[in-house]
């Protein structure tokens, strides 16, 4: 029997990063170094790190609320459901179906969790960057994975989801 509570449940004010495992920190350190060497805006790595830390804080997602249970309503009383944009849905699908997923050092549980629209649609990290991390830090991926100029300046994913209301 295992009980793991996050800061919200314990009433503490620990930063999210306190919940990262030793392996998470080691990998993220390497991701920061790789991204820096590629000339990328390090906020892409911060974004990934805080997503992973939040997942850890919530007992590896087990105590995270599902968005699409039919219990959320808009101001007119219609049920509201959330999903990824077409671009993010396509990237999530590539990630989940890609061969690098099974050998990546990035936690596979986190990857599967955050790419599930029921949990990740409202607040997820940059999927295209995460896909490059998965490939770069995988035994079956592309070790010489390049980021390119698109990652020199961070592009926010805030409000990057689809909201549907059902009558």
% of residues, the chain, pLDDT over 70: 86
Average pLDDT over residues 20-40: 97
Helix or strand or coil: residue 129?
Answer: helix
Question: Radius of gyration (Cα) for the chain, nearest Å?
Answer: 17
Which alpha helices (DSSP H) does the chain contain, by range? 7-10, 22-37, 43-57, 86-97, 108-114, 117-120, 127-136
Question: Domain locations in the chain?
Answer: 19-166
Q: What is the DSSP string of 26-72?
A: HHHHHHHHHHHHTT--THHHHHHHHHHHHHHHTTTTTTSPPS-SS--
pLDDT at 68 over 80: no
Residue 9 is predicted with a pLDDT of: 55
Provide the pLDDT for residue 76: 81
Q: How many whole angstroms separate alpha carbon 167 and alpha carbon 155?
A: 34
**What pTM, to 2 d.p., does this model score?**
0.83
What residues are paired with 164 via a beta bridge? 81
């Amino acid at each position: 029997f295992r009980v793991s509570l996050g800061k919200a449940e314990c009433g503490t004010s620990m930063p999210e990063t306190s919940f990262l495992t030793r392996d998470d920190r080691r990998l993220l350190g390497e991701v920061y170094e790789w991204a820096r060497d590629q000339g990328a805006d390090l906020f892409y790595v911060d974004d990934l790190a805080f997503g992973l830390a939040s997942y850890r804080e919530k007992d590896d997602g087990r105590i995270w609320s599902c968005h699409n249970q039919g219990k959320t309503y808009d101001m007119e009383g219609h049920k509201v459901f959330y999903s990824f944009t077409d671009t993010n849905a396509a990237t999530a699908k590539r990630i989940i179906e890609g061969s690098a997923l099974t050998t990546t050092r990035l936690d596979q549980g986190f990857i599967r969790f955050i790419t599930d629209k029921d949990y990740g649609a409202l607040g997820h990290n940059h999927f295209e960057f995460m896909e490059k991390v998965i490939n770069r830090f995988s035994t079956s991926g592309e070790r010489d994975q390049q980021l390119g100029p698109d990652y020199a300046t961070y592009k926010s994913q805030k409000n990057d989801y689809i909201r549907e209301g059902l009558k």
